[in-house]
């Protein structure tokens, strides 16, 4: 009873990190049909289970728009933003896309634990498919947005063709965050609880129901003079993103190139880090979920 080994092969060295990432990307590409099937099944499952089907996904932002308009337009009469429902929707829809993606992808690994323990496939398809399903929802919600645009006769930006690029930048950023959080949640199961609070804070720190122009440029803090307006822009990519959407759809402005490129670079950096973080730890998912 001998143990067979093929002595013809030479011992091999560990592959370089770049080769690892390239291999993982090729593997992901091989499983592209799985990503598509997961997205389709997630959308199908969501719309099959409710009577109103996908109409719900259109009514939800409309309902939120009404609530915020009542709160900040009527209960808070010193609001000076004109066409407030449109202004609001331009911030609310991208935020909803971001927040729904983060919340649902956080559970995408742990929630599929039984599958992960039984079958091998590149684990990143799960958060990716979750985010892409939310993207599909976001795009559907543009039906509502364009209806509101028509009602308010908004002046569209001549640079409107940038809109898909902005959506792409947001998707890259969202995916990066989703990859990090879905990994963290495997090892620390209270990630979701921590994120609940953080997402609420993030929502208020993002100029969704207010304009970033309303933030003070001078705020005394410990003897320093803080430019809150500028800090909000630089620290929070979601603020930049929301503003870019508004430039396209609300202000009719071409958007500032420095912010555009800085946000794009930030989003790609977050995505790259998130992907590295994910593949660094995903080999342990099989024992941890």
User: How far apart are CB 228 and another protein at their closest, in Å?
Assistant: 29
Q: Scanning residues 191 to 220, which ones bind another protein (CB under 8 A)? A: 191, 194
From 189, 213, 230, 280, residue interacting with another protein (rule: CB under 8 A):
189
**Residue 257 lies near another protein (rule: CB under 8 A):** no
Q: Provide the token pair at 9.
A: 């092969």
67/200 with CB nearer another protein: 200
Choosing from 29, 37, 196, 280, the residue that interacts with another protein (CB under 8 A) is 37
Contact status: 277 vs another protein (CB under 8 A): no
Q: Does 44 engage in binding with another protein (CB under 8 A)? A: yes
Query: Beta partners for 224?
Result: 221
What are the Cα distances from residue 143, in Å, to 103, 108, 193, 195? 24, 28, 33, 30
280 touches another protein (CB under 8 A): no
| Residue from 115, 127, 268, 117 nearest 185 by CA | 127
Q: Name beta bridge partners: 225.
A: 220
Nearer to another protein, 28 or 86 (CB): 28
**Exactly one of 18, 51, 74, 119 binds another protein (CB under 8 A); which one?**
119
Helices (H), 49-124: 55-69, 84-106, 113-116
Cβ atoms within 10 A of the Cβ of 229, count?
Answer: 17
* Site for another protein contains 116 (CB under 8 A): yes
Residues contacting residue 208 through CB under 8 Å, at least 6 positions apart: 88, 91, 92, 95, 242
**Residue 253 — left, alpha, or beta (φ > 0 → left; ψ -120 to 50 → alpha)?**
beta
Residue 120 binds another protein, judged by CB under 8 A: yes
Quick one: 187 or 204, whose CB is closer to another protein? 187
- Return the structure tokens found at 156: 């569209």
CB of 274 to another protein, least distance (A): 19
30 binds another protein (CB under 8 A): yes
CA-to-CA distance for 49 and 119, rounded, in angstroms? Answer: 27
Of 6 and 225, the one with the shorter C-beta distance to another protein is 6
Q: Which residues bind to another protein, rule: CB under 8 A? A: 1-6, 8-9, 11-15, 30-31, 33-34, 36-38, 41, 44-45, 48-49, 114-121, 187-191, 194, 283-284, 286-287
């Amino acid at each position: 009873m001998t143990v067979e080994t093929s002595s013809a092969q030479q011992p091999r060295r560990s592959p370089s990190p770049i080769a690892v990432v390239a291999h993982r990307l090729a593997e992901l590409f091989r499983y592209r049909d799985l990503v598509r099937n997961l997205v389709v099944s997630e959308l199908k499952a969501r719309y099959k289970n409710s009577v109103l089907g996908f109409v719900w996904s259109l009514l939800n932002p409309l309902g939120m728009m009404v609530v915020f308009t009542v709160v900040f337009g009527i209960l808070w009469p010193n609001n000076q933003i004109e066409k407030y429902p449109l202004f609001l929707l331009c911030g609310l829809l991208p935020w909803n896309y971001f927040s729904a993606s983060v919340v649902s992808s956080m559970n995408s690994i742990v929630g599929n634990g039984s599958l992960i323990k039984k079958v091998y496939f590149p684990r990143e398809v799960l958060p990716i498919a979750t985010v892409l399903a939310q993207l599909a929802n976001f795009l559907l919600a543009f039906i509502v947005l364009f209806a509101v645009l028509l009602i308010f006769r908004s002046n569209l930006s001549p640079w409107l063709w940038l809109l898909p690029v902005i959506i792409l930048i947001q998707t890259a950023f969202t995916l990066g965050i989703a990859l990090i959080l879905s990994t963290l949640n495997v090892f620390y199961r209270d990630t979701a609880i921590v994120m609940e609070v953080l997402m609420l804070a993030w929502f208020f720190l993002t100029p969704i129901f207010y304009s970033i122009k309303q933030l003070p440029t001078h705020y005394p803090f410990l003897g320093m003079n803080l430019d809150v307006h500028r800090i909000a822009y630089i620290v929070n990519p979601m603020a930049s993103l929301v503003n870019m959407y508004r430039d396209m759809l609300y202000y009719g402005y071409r958007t500032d190139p420095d912010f555009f490129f800085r946000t794009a670079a930030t989003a790609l950096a977050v995505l790259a880090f998130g992907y590295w973080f994910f593949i660094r730890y995903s080999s342990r998912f099989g024992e941890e979920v």
